[in-house]
Chain A
Amino acid sequence: MGRLRIFYASMVGKKVVMGVTGLIGVGFVIMHSLGNLLVFRGPAAINSYSHFLKSTGELLWGLRILLIVAVMFHVIAAVQLTLQSRAARPLAYTKQEHQAATVASRTMRWGGALLLVFIALHVLHFTTGTIRPAGVFSPDDVYANVVTSFRIWWVALFYVAVMVALGLHLFHGAWSSVRSVGVSPPSPQPLHHRISFAIALLVWAAFTAVPIAVAAGIVR
């Protein structure tokens, strides 16, 4: 434990923790977005997938706990690193022109905060059914929950908007994580950069397709 505490005390150690927990998140959103596409195969497909997940019992809870712990460490390390980095430049430049930073890299912090709020709302919306924008919620009928919710235009719009933030966070997060954990080989045109772009694009498209399809009346 002592060794891990010393490891985490360093900024590089915190970055490694952010990278590892971030990659867990990348794996999760890939699976989640693929699962969502079952909506297009009708109520039976997605509902039986949902029942299958719930039937795994301890395994599901093991994964949930892993994800919760990963998010906690990801957020705590992000807050600590952000505060340290802010303190590292007490006086800002009068003029600073970014040469390489992308929209994705520059929105990691605020985008991350938005995603954290979204995750909380999303769990309350679709997992626990505490928030019911459509007024109804059935724990066994995922398909109905999705369709009734996304028929409300502002719910669909909110999800679509947040998915832009997710796509950006995912792109910069995925490629920088493999660097933070020190596994990417040196290259001026790194492969992990292109893979991250593809993952971000596909996950964004898969997640965005569902609310758009429901709002447009394609899935009903």
Chain B
Amino acid sequence: MNLTLHVWRQAGPRAPGKMVVYKAGDISPDMSFLEMLDVVNEGLTLRGEVPIAFDHDCREGICGMCSLMINGIAHGPMKGTATCQLHMRSFKDGDTIYIEPWRAGAFPVIKDLAVDRSALDRIIQAGGFITAATGGAQDANAVLVPKESVDGAMDAAACIGCGACVAACPNASASLFTAAKITHLGLLPQGQPERYRRALEMVDQMDLENFGSCTLHGECQEACPKEISIDTITRMNRDFIRGRLIGTRP
């Protein structure tokens, strides 16, 4: 396959960036999207140019490190997958592909396509945990959890924190990410003591990080590689209302 790539190049956080055109030749349809970029980078290195910086780690869709806005779609055209699971067979020979970083004020560009997503980490630090006594692990089934709660919590816990929801949202809102964490812990018995405090603290941190607000376009759940539902956002709002207006005691 031969492709034309329009790639965002930016030397550093404060440097101005621009879209640069590259030709990618001899690409196998069996390559992953990131392997295609590796090939392009090999070529750039051989020509003495600076390779394109992009985030990646596990390359099997579980770490949440890879990103990329591909032809205007977060994680590319394949639904329910991260960029690393996108293969070049999803494109045609001769295609033009636009590759941009996640764009949000809360996600400053580090270099080229790599952005700083520590705003999401700070949202987790604000309340995305349970305060539990340390010690030996509890026996399985010592705490009984209804099946519906387990399923709902597991669906929300699938979030890998990649930030595609923010990238795809027309408002650059982190509502789906924050709501997924609030739902995951709030559905389980271990998460109950801090349920409302967690919702308040995580939502407050989300506000502080200057993300946008949710207008329920539903772009986030389409982009999410784990297909997390916007139902979680309804739950986040419910817990927030309860916590703010009535109090944080469960």
Residues of A within 8 A of B (CB): 3, 6-7, 9-16, 81, 84-102, 105-106, 108, 172, 175-176, 179-184, 186-188
Contacts and interface: CB of A to CB of B under 8 A. Distances in A.
A12 B170 contact: no
Contacts of A10: 203-204, 207, 240, 244
18 contacts: A10-B244, A11-B213, A81-B215, A85-B171, A88-B104, A89-B103, A89-B172, A93-B69, A95-B69, A95-B100, A96-B72, A98-B217, A100-B222, A180-B237, A182-B236, A182-B241, A186-B229, A186-B234
A86 B210 CA distance: 10
Interface in B194-250: 203-204, 206-207, 210-219, 221-223, 229-231, 233-241, 244-245
Contacts of B173: 85, 88
Contact of A105 (B204, B217, B222, B238): B217
Interface residues of B, number: 50
Nearest to A108: B215
Contacts of B214: 11, 15, 180
A182 B72 contact: no
Given A89-B103, A182-B238, A84 B215 contact: no
B98 A182 contact: no
A99 B106 contact: no
A33 B219 CA distance: 32
B240 A186 contact: no
B170 to A, nearest CB: 6
Contact of A85 (B69, B212, B230): B212
B162 interface: no
Which 6 pairs show the lowest CB-CB distances between chains A and B?
A182-B238, A85-B212, A88-B212, A85-B171, A186-B231, A97-B72
B167 to A, nearest CB: 9
B19 interface: yes
Nearest to A172: B216
B210 A88 contact: yes
Nearest to B222: A99
Given A176-B216, A180-B214, A182-B241, 11 more contacts: A10-B244, A11-B206, A81-B215, A84-B210, A85-B172, A94-B98, A97-B73, A172-B216, A182-B236, A182-B237, A187-B231
Interface of B: 6, 8, 19, 69, 71-73, 98, 100, 103-106, 152, 168, 170-173, 203-204, 206-207, 210-219, 221-223, 229-231, 233-241, 244-245
Given A85-B173, A85-B213, A99 B219 contact: yes
Nearest to A11: B213
Interface core residue of A12, A16, A97, A108 (most chain B CB under 10 Å)? A12
Contact of A186 (B203, B235, B245): B235
Nearest to A9: B207
B204 A95 contact: no
Given A7-B244, A88-B106, A89-B104, A179 B222 contact: no
A12 B216 contact: no
Contact of A101 (B6, B219, B241): B219
B222 to A, nearest CB: 4
Nearest to B98: A95
A106 B217 contact: yes
Contact of B213 (A9, A14, A183, A187): A14
B178 to A, nearest CB: 9
Contacts of B239: 182
A203 B212 CA distance: 31
B19 to A, nearest CB: 6
A96 B71 CA distance: 7
A7 B199 CA distance: 13
Nearest to B77: A97
B237 A179 contact: yes
A106 B217 CA distance: 8
Contact of B233 (A86, A88, A91, A179): A179
A84 B219 contact: no
Contacts of A95: 69, 71-72, 98, 100
